[in-house]
Structure 1
Amino acid sequence: MDDAVRDPVPQVATAGEYVALLREARRRSGLTYREIARRASAAGHWLPPSTLATMLGRTTLPRERTVVALLAACGTPAVDVDRWLETRRDIEARLSEQGRREGGPAQVPAGPSSTVPATIRPSVGSVPPRPEAPWPARRWLRLALLAVFGVLTVGATGALPPPAAPTVDSASTGGCPTVLRQGMYDPCVLSLQEHLVADGLTVPVDGWFGPDTTSRVMVFQAFGGLPVSGTADARLFDELAGDRKVPVSWPQERIRKHLRQMFPEDPAGAVEVARCLSGLDPYRVEVVEDGSRRWGLFQFSDVEVSRFGVDRRTVLDPAWNIGTAREIWSRTGDFGHWNCAT
């Protein structure tokens, strides 16, 4: 156990000192904000990196729920978390009393009561391994609850709300935007990422719809026979609720072995070019500035895919992708077809 969770909670008198202790606990954990967010999520909490940064950047008393989420992610034992919360409540009580004496507002968190009853407080012991994300029968209800929880968290922490979302059809989406797209950041995106992972697509589960999530959505759409838009709508969620669509990806060692076999003249060069282009990820999809896409290990463009007369599922097959790269190499005798700084 590291020092951040082994040391007793010192006695502090002000909210600023309390936050300073939390910053020190975070620093001594050795975890980044994004790692803390993921570990907190695995332990059943919602603590986006932006919320964490806001909390640790202020000198006001943070919400109990965010304190619990941070300490849980750092692996703090439950008994020590209770002591952290007792210290926080003592400070809150002093601030409230001071506010009454001075006739002004107390320096306490805004919004509803921040107390987390012991009977409903989530477990805050060591973070368990994240199980494969299930897809419940009432999937839209789960998304709605996540969305409500995200709104409450934003209100609790004082963080700015996300950009305005598209019109919501609550009957069909259970409170989530009708379309999720790149740039969004909310619990509905988190749920989408969980279920992409459950279907075998590795993606950060952080609630941020970034380029990685866009890429994985397009891969799922390609294998599921859906329009490859890179956005998530009700039809995509319905497909995620069904049987697995994405074949198990080749591990990198198998990819390296196949590359060396297909390019015996320059095995190291073949591995390096594929690594440079795609990170040896057979399901890598890149969106370029003009909106076109590049697919798979050797990043074949939309134009090339059309010229080859194959669909996206085929071009994402590592055996086909490597074999086609070999055919191109055979005509030129080098890897000049690909522009990658190796």
Structure 2
Amino acid sequence: MNDAGRDQVPQAATAGEYVALLRDVRRYSGLTYREISRRASAAGHWLPPSTLATMLGRTTLPRERTIVALLAACGTSTAEIQRWIAMRRDIEARLTEPSRWDGPAPGADEARPADPVTPDPAPTRTIRRTRRRGLRLGAIALFGALAVGSSGAMLAGAAGTVGATDEPTTEGCPLVLRQGMYGPCVLDLQERLVAGGLHVPVDGWFGPDTASRVMAFQALGGLPVSGTADGRVLDELSADPAVPATWPEERISKHLWRLFPEDPAGAVRMARCLSGLDPYRVEVQPDGSRRWGLFQFSDVELSRLGVDRRTALDAGWNIGAARDLWSRSGDFGHWHCPPAP
């Protein structure tokens, strides 16, 4: 191991110094962010490159699990990792200790703060409120543009999602992420979806695109299709999910031209209008039902055809089923897709 991780772990007095030492560990290791991410995953940790970059770019104390993931990926021994964590806790204790006492310094009773007597509940609540306020301010700075014009209800939902980019479904994140939320917890979910092969804008906003990708992942993995992300979904996304590679647009277009020789341009135009030529597109209808894949077959249609949702997301099956419907009438009257304005 490098100098920053030998038996004598360097000491830091502030959060900024602590993060600087972690940067040294990463630099001396000679590993890229992606290499560290892969090694952390192999060791059973979750450390996306973007999360690592964010952590090392701040001057605040990272989460313990993130520190462990980084150090383990860089080859730090278990004993040394424990010393790193002990140092982090010492720094955190010094940062929070001044807030535990009201009024002037203890003076003659200076020894009292070291006394492990259970603190008064009121100061504890003050500390927690201060931490939450800091987390919210950070999220507002990052996602301010999204918050402009938002309703009070939306802001209330967002407060439940901020503050735990590094540790999903633990302190700071809701147990279930759902549409309408935004913040670092949603960012983490989106990063996992992208890493699993389901491309979605990584903007921290749990909108229809993210909901569509979550439902696609649930259908492809045989999970209950809820459109929300709970701990099970996040765990499955962390476990190198086996999401079949999606068809690129060129392959979809060529297949449509082969199966619809009578009107290939019309077939491409209809599929693009319905799904944007996205085989994994899932749309939720006003009545709560869903439509699946390139030609947006409904839940009822899938039931009649005797196929599951995973099958509906297969581009080859979806186009073949659309061809069967087209052959009955010779046109695309089965589908209704208004032209773009």
Q: TM-score, normalised by structure 2?
A: 0.56
Equivalent residue of 2:155, what SS?
coil
Q: 2:303 aligns with which of 293, 300, 306?
A: 306
Q: Matches of residues 43-58 of structure 1 in structure 2 within 5 Å?
A: none
Residue-by-residue CA offset, 1:193-250 (whole Å, 9 max, x unaligned): 0010001111000110000000000000001110000000001111112132210000
The answer to whether 1:245 aligns with 2:242 is: yes
Equivalent-residue separation in structure 1 for 2:193 and 2:200 (angstroms): 8
Structure-2 separation of matches of 1:118 and 1:174: 22
1:279-300 deviations in Å (ceiling 9; x for gaps): 1110111111111111000001
Instruction: Pick closer, same or farther for the CA change 1:185–1:333 going to 2, 3 Å.
Output: same
Instruction: Classify the secondary structure of the residue corresponding to 2:277.
Output: coil
* Structure 2 counterpart of 1:163, from 156, 169, 177: 156
Corresponding position: 1:153 with 2:149: no
The separation in 2 between residues aligned to 1:312 and 1:239, in whole angstroms, is 18
Q: Name the CA distance, whole Å, in 1 between partners of 2:309 and 2:246.
A: 15
Q: Number of aligned pairs?
A: 222
Q: Is 1:257 the equivalent of 2:242? A: no
- Kindly indicate whether residue 198 of structure 2 is the aligned counterpart of residue 201 of structure 1: yes
Where in structure 1 are there 5+ consecutive unaligned residues? Answer: 1-114, 123-129
Aligned position for 1:296? 293
| Greater relative contact order (CA < 8 Å, ≥ 6 in sequence) | 1
Consecutive unaligned residues in structure 2, runs of 5 or more? 1-15, 24-32, 53-61, 67-130, 148-153
Is 1:173 paired with 2:161? Answer: no
What is the distance in 2 between the residues matched to 1:323 and 1:294?
A: 16
The answer (yes or no) to whether the contact 2:193–2:199 under 8 Å persists in 1 is yes
For the Cα contact (< 8 Å) 2:275–2:295, is it kept in 1? Answer: yes
In structure 2, distance between residues paired with 1:117 and 1:173: 26
Partner of 1:227: 224
- Which residue in the other structure is 2:281 paired with? 284
Distance (Å, rounded) in 2 between the aligned partners of 1:167 and 1:191: 11
Q: 1:167 to 1:321 in 2, by over 3 A?
A: closer
1:271 equivalent among 268, 271, 284: 268
Give 1:75-114 correspondences, 5 Å limit: none
* Amino acid paired to 2:310: R
Contact 1:259-1:322 at 8 Å conserved across structures: yes
Aligned to 2:336: 339
Q: Does the 8 Å contact 2:169/2:176 carry over to 1?
A: no
User: 1:6-63: per-residue Cα shift (whole Å, max 9, x none)?
Assistant: xxxxxxxxxxxxxxxxxxxxxxxxxxxxxxxxxxxxxxxxxxxxxxxxxxxxxxxxxx
Identity over aligned pairs, percent? 62
Q: Which string of whole-angstrom CA distances, capped at 9 and with x for unpartnered residues, describes residues 75-97 of structure 1?
A: xxxxxxxxxxxxxxxxxxxxxxx
Larger % of helix: which? Answer: 2
SS in 1 for 2:278: coil
Runs of 4+ in 1 over 2 A off after TM superposition: 115-120, 130-152, 154-162, 164-168, 170-173
Q: Does 1:327 align with 2:320?
A: no
Normalised by the length of structure 1, the TM-score is 0.56
- Root mean square deviation of aligned Cα: 4.0
Indicate conservation of the 8 Å contact 1:150/1:186, yes or no.
Answer: no
